[in-house]
Amino acid sequence: MSELFRLTLAEAAAGLAAKKFTSVELTASSLARIKATEPRVGACLAVLEERAMGEAAAADKSGPDPARPLRGLPVTVKDVFCLKGAPTTAGSRILENYRPVFEATVVARLREAGAVVVAKTNCDEFAMGSSTEFSAFKTTRNPRDLSRVPGGSSGGAAASVVSLQAAAALGTDTGGSIRQPAALCGCLGLKPTYGRVSRYGIVAYGSSFDQAGPLARSSADLGLILSAVAGPDGLDSTASDHPLDDYANAVPADLKKLTLGLPEELWSADFDGGVARRLDEARKLLTGAGVRLRPVSLPNLRFSVAVYYILAAAEASTNLARYDGVRYGYRAGGDPELLSLYRNSRTQAMGEEVRRRIMLGTFVLSSGYYDAYFRKAAQVRRLIAEDYRRALEGCDFLLAPVSSIPAWPFGAFAADPLTVYQLDMMTLPLNIVGAPGLALPAGLTPGGLPVGLQLMGRHFDELGLLSAAGAMERVLPSPGDPPALG
């Protein structure tokens, strides 16, 4: 029973049900793996050892329960999810000592389903970033190449799954923050439809974009997690009562009946050579397996970076106005009056990228610029949504790359925020439209770095995505285990 941490969620659940091992053994294995790999990977901001072992013991005691399909299974959650009694920093100094008094609905549901939260994972501050380099607390390294970033903002989540610290992780995706780190580290990630999953208790970034979802090493595991967390919530009016599907039992699709649209604007990007080669091979493997691929167009896609950064920054500037040094979080010392207390608390405890986005959001919402930027971006958002709907006509899903480049070395874009924003172009359309998407591995570059593909679907068709991915993951090359980390 020495390497239980290698099991997928579904395998571990089956093993527990068959009494091959206990949750205490499984959870101890996960915690030992965290201890062994953390010095190199740095995926976690808090490891909840004592609490997790207590929950595992309770799970063993309670025994099997069909209402608790995740009973005794270790998972990690991104540090933007409020977990009662545990630190919740969102990667920011301003929340360094914050202890939430309530719990995110998705975390509560995971725990009600029996999952054991073993760690809270690192992320870019307030989920704003594409490399996890903007965390105020630590550096997370890509498990497949420790000299490179894991992607972001859910970089800790992806690194925890790929370094086998836990079989599954909960992340959030506002502009690609689940799919991009999944692709750059070499695992799967699902961004559900906006409204499929409650946002209550998630530290807010862009409220019309944010959505929580799972990262894992198989599509079946994504389905298990989604099935536990999806559905309406009296505490979030945007959590939809649209009928749920049986995500935990998605049947692999018949690839010969699948038609995928290839958005020309995404496939004609300027790709890294190794990435381009993998993408070409992936397309050949899929057509060889009977998938029909047809070109489609998203003509307004070139506006997506501007649309996203204007609207998400506007929402961020509003959401982050709550950090004022008065009610919770960091407070600057020695201020004689209120306005300077606000300014100093926020400036001292928020990082440069967060301040930049607050400024951008403040600017586009300010008098005289509102119509030219904020309203205009919301209009173009609708054009992109209409393009998306049209592109899906005659296709089951769209298929696109996740990133034009593989994981990059630390600091490669430190002096150039606009270039990093533009790297998000491939993941932004889904968040702009509110549709669901699933990233899955498509092999490694000659340099050994993962390359990812993403399926994009119709609103609330998570089951379709899981079915298609279930068939595609059998055809596409697996990235395999990362190099020795322990």
Partner 1 sequence: MPLDEKAVLAVVGLARLEPPERPESDSAAADPVAAMVSEFAKIVDYMAILNEAETEGVEPMYSPMIEPQPPRPDEPRRDAGKADDILGQAPERVGRYFSVPRIF
Minimum CB distance to partner 1 smaller for 146 or for 378: 378
Minimum CB distance to partner 1 smaller for 43 or for 310: 310
Give the footprint of partner 1 on residues 361-390 (CB under 8 A): 361-364, 366, 373, 375-383, 385
Give the footprint of partner 1 on residues 456-485 (CB under 8 A): 459
Nearest approach, Cβ of residue 354 and partner 1 (Å): 10
CA distances from 386 to 248, 383, 390, 429, 433 (A): 31, 5, 6, 11, 9
Q: Could you give phi then psi for residue 116, rounded to 5 degrees?
A: -110, 115
Determine the distance from the C-alpha atom of residue 230 to the mean position of all C-alpha atoms in its chain, rounded to a whole number.
15
Check residue 256 for interaction with partner 1 (CB under 8 A). Answer: no
Nearest approach, Cβ of residue 369 and partner 1 (Å): 9
Question: Active-site residue among 29, 92, 160, 177?
Answer: 177
Check residue 291 for interaction with partner 1 (CB under 8 A). Answer: no
Interface residue with partner 1 among 62, 249, 287, 347 (CB under 8 A) is: 347
Q: Is 35 a catalytic residue?
A: no
Site track for partner 1 across 194-223, x = CB under 8 A? xx------------xx--------------
Minimum CB distance to partner 1 smaller for 146 or for 305: 305
Check residue 240 for interaction with partner 1 (CB under 8 A). Answer: yes
Q: What is the C-alpha separation between 390 and 384, in angstroms, rounded? A: 10
Q: Is 304 a catalytic residue?
A: no
Interface residue with partner 1 among 40, 277, 292, 356 (CB under 8 A) is: 356
Check residue 417 for interaction with partner 1 (CB under 8 A). Answer: yes
Residue among 151, 63, 78, 137 at smallest CA distance from 110: 78
Phi-psi label, residue 232: left if phi above 0, alpha if psi -120 to 50, beta otherwise: beta
Check residue 101 for interaction with partner 1 (CB under 8 A). Answer: yes
Residue ranges in 102-218 assigned as alpha helix (H) = 105-112, 155-162, 179-185
Concatenating the DSSP letter of every residue in 116-127 gives: EEEEEE--SGGG
Contact 174, 163 (CB under 8 A): no
Q: Which one of 19-27, 252-260, 277-285, 333-341 is the stretch in contact with partner 1 (CB under 8 A)? A: 333-341
Check residue 413 for interaction with partner 1 (CB under 8 A). Answer: no
Q: Which one of 44-52, 140-148, 218-226, 353-361 is the stretch in contact with partner 1 (CB under 8 A)? A: 353-361
Nearest approach, Cβ of residue 241 and partner 1 (Å): 7
Nearest approach, Cβ of residue 47 and partner 1 (Å): 23
Check residue 359 for interaction with partner 1 (CB under 8 A). Answer: yes
For residue 296, the cross-strand partners are 263
Check residue 342 for interaction with partner 1 (CB under 8 A). Answer: yes
Q: Terminal CA-to-CA distance of the chain, rounded, Å?
A: 17
Nearest approach, Cβ of residue 345 and partner 1 (Å): 9
Residue among 149, 156, 130, 146 at smallest CA distance from 75: 156
Contact 455, 399 (CB under 8 A): yes
Question: Active-site residue among 29, 30, 78, 92?
Answer: 78
Q: What is the C-alpha separation between 11 and 29, in angstroms, rounded? A: 15
Q: How many helices (H) and strands (E) does the chain have?
A: 16, 11
Residue among 179, 203, 75 at smallest CA distance from 442: 179
Nearest approach, Cβ of residue 357 and partner 1 (Å): 10
Minimum CB distance to partner 1 smaller for 147 or for 237: 237
Question: Active-site residue among 29, 131, 153, 240?
Answer: 153
- Both tokens of 297, joined, read 């167009």
Give the footprint of partner 1 on residues 429-458 (CB under 8 A): 431-435
Minimum CB distance to partner 1 smaller for 277 or for 343: 343
Residue 484: exposure state from Cβ atoms within 10 A (0-12, 13-18, ≥19): exposed
Residue among 434, 200, 174 at smallest CA distance from 312: 174
Give the footprint of partner 1 on residues 35-64 (CB under 8 A): none
Strands 168-172, 44-47: pairing kind: unpaired
- Give Cβ neighbours of residue 323 (< 8 Å, ≥ 6 apart): 94, 95, 329, 330, 345, 346, 349, 350
Q: Is 478 a catalytic residue?
A: no
User: If you ran DSSP here, which 8-state letter would residue 83 be given?
Assistant: -
Check residue 270 for interaction with partner 1 (CB under 8 A). Answer: no
Minimum CB distance to partner 1 smaller for 137 or for 369: 369
Interface residue with partner 1 among 343, 412, 448, 481 (CB under 8 A) is: 343
Minimum CB distance to partner 1 smaller for 17 or for 326: 326
Interface residue with partner 1 among 3, 326, 474, 480 (CB under 8 A) is: 326
For residue 261, the cross-strand partners are 294, 398
Under rule CB under 8 A, how many of the chain's residues touch partner 1? 76
- Give Cβ neighbours of residue 475 (< 8 Å, ≥ 6 apart): 255, 285, 286, 288, 289
Interface residue with partner 1 among 307, 312, 407, 425 (CB under 8 A) is: 307
Nearest approach, Cβ of residue 29 and partner 1 (Å): 35
Minimum CB distance to partner 1 smaller for 253 or for 341: 341
Minimum CB distance to partner 1 smaller for 276 or for 412: 412
Residues annotated catalytic, as ranges: 78, 153, 177
